[in-house]
């Protein structure tokens, strides 16, 4: 398959030069390499610039409320485990409005892949600080600069036992495509936080800013070593990209026993009388 097999006809409403284009390209490349029918792929998103991604890919999609993509994605995977379920979300959507879902889905370990377009800003609503904005960054509603410490996604995921923690950069498309494939191959919750320059509203974390700091994790990094992974996640001067941590543990489907049952999506609905259930609502 080719990346163009996943092109959709929707006109793209992102600013020219936006880092989202790099992530989009990497996602289509990863899906082409995966080789599954677009109907076997479900993209799930909430609200934001990042959350528009599923509109621009030919695959199944569910576009829900701001911050609420993870429960919808987890539910879809539980009722139809044949689907490849991928969440495309923003730093505000996933770590702010959806922060509670992020924490509890990390601990549940449902087999989904979560790609966070981390532009360190609220892009769609025109440039307010997000949970990952850098202290000191001035915005129109933080004129004196962001005061709070940023939310650390990689460290949070590691602390909560996430079995696949990775970081990518939208300008490193092929590298990112391989991270997405590795996240899909990992059985359990996979987090891929992606540096994504917002050229319109984040004038601090630019392509130039990232290019000076980002480096690829070397082959000598043992991704199964949690202590080594934590040291990488804590780096702030130089910014490692790659698989930071990878170790499989039991997924929610195995722990809850649902993997041993027929998926509800395949169960026959013939002969089921929903009359008594509906009567409750009369």
Ligand X SMILES: Cc1ncc(C[n+]2csc(CCOP(=O)(O)OP(=O)(O)O)c2C)c(N)n1
> How far does CA 234 lie from the centroid of its chain?
20
Query: Between 134 and 200, whose beta carbon lies closer to ligand SF4?
Result: 200
Q: Could you say whether residue 46 binds ligand SF4 (CB under 6 A)?
A: no
Distance CA 90, CA 101 (A): 13
Among 1, 15, 65, 228, binds ligand SF4 (CB under 6 A): 15
Choose the binding region for ligand X from 7-15, 48-56, 238-246, 250-258 (rule: CB under 6 A): 48-56
Binding of residue 171 to ligand SF4 (CB under 6 A): no
Nearest C-alpha neighbor of 187 from the set 253, 101, 96: 253
Longest dimension (CA), the chain: 64
Q: Which does 125 bind (CB under 5 to 8 A by kind): Mg ion, ligand SF4, ligand X, none?
A: ligand X
Both tokens of 96, joined, read: 């702010």
Question: Is 107 in a helix, a strand, or coil?
Answer: helix
- What is the nearest approach in angstroms of ligand X to the Cβ of residue 101? 13
Site for ligand SF4 in 222-241 (CB under 6 A): none
47 interface partner picked from ligand X, ligand SF4, Mg ion, none, CB below 5 to 8 A per type: ligand X
Angle 158-192-130 (CA atoms, 0-180°, nearest 5)?
Answer: 85
- The residues in 104-163 that bind ligand SF4, with binding defined as CB under 6 A, are 119, 123
CA dist., res. 246 & res. 26, Å (int): 20
Nearer to ligand X by C-beta: 119 or 258? 119
- Report the partner that residue 110 touches, choosing among ligand SF4, ligand X, Mg ion, none (CB closer than 5 to 8 A by kind): none
Binding of Mg ion by 111 (CB under 5 A):
no
Q: Would you give the end-to-end CA distance of the chain in angstroms? A: 51
Work out whether 158 is an interface residue with ligand X (CB under 6 A).
Answer: no
Judge contact between 129 and 202, C-beta under 8 A: no
- Is residue 114 part of the contact set for ligand X (CB under 6 A)? no
* CB of 151 closer than 8 Å to CB of 233: no
Q: What's the closest the beta carbon of residue 92 comes to Mg ion, in angstroms?
A: 5
In the Cβ-directed half-sphere of 276, how many Cα atoms lie within 13 Å? Answer: 2
Interacting stretch for ligand X, rule CB under 6 A, among 11-19, 37-45, 90-98, 259-267?
A: 90-98
Pairing of strands 239-246, 164-169: antiparallel
In eight-state DSSP terms, residue 196 is -
CB of 128 to ligand X, least distance (A): 7
Binding site for ligand X (CB under 6 A): 47-50, 66, 90-93, 97, 117, 119, 121-125, 130
Binding site for Mg ion (CB under 5 A): 90-92, 119
């Amino acid at each position: 398959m080719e990346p163009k097999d996943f092109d959709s006809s929707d006109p793209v409403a992102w600013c020219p030069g936006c880092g989202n284009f790099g992530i989009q390209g990497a996602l289509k490349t990863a899906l082409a390499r995966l080789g599954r029918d677009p109907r076997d792929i479900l993209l799930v998103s909430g609200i934001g610039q990042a959350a528009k991604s599923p509109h621009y890919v030919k695959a199944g999609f569910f576009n829900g409320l701001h911050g609420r993509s993870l429960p919808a994605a987890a539910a879809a995977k539980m009722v139809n485990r044949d689907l490849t379920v991928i969440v495309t979300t923003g730093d505000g959507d996933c770590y702010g409005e959806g922060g509670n879902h992020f924490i509890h889905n990390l601990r549940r370990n449902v087999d989904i892949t979560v790609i966070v377009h981390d532009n360190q800003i609220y892009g769609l609503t025109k440039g307010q600080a997000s949970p990952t904005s850098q202290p000191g960054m001035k915005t129109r509603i933080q004129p004196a600069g962001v005061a709070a410490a940023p939310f650390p996604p990689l460290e949070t995921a590691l602390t909560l036992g996430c079995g696949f923690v990775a970081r990518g950069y939208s300008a490193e498309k092929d590298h990112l495509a391989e991270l997405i494939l590795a996240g899909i191959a990992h059985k359990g919750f996979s987090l891929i936080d992606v540096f994504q320059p917002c050229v319109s509203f984040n004038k601090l974390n630019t392509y130039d800013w990232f290019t000076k700091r980002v480096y690829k994790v070397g082959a000598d990094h043992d991704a199964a070593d949690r202590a080594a992974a934590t040291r990488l996640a804590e780096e702030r001067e130089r910014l490692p990209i790659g698989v930071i941590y990878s170790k499989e543990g039991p997924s929610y489907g195995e722990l809850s026993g649902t993997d041993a049952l027929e998926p509800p999506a395949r169960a026959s609905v013939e002969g089921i009388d929903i009359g008594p259930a509906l009567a409750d609502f009369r």
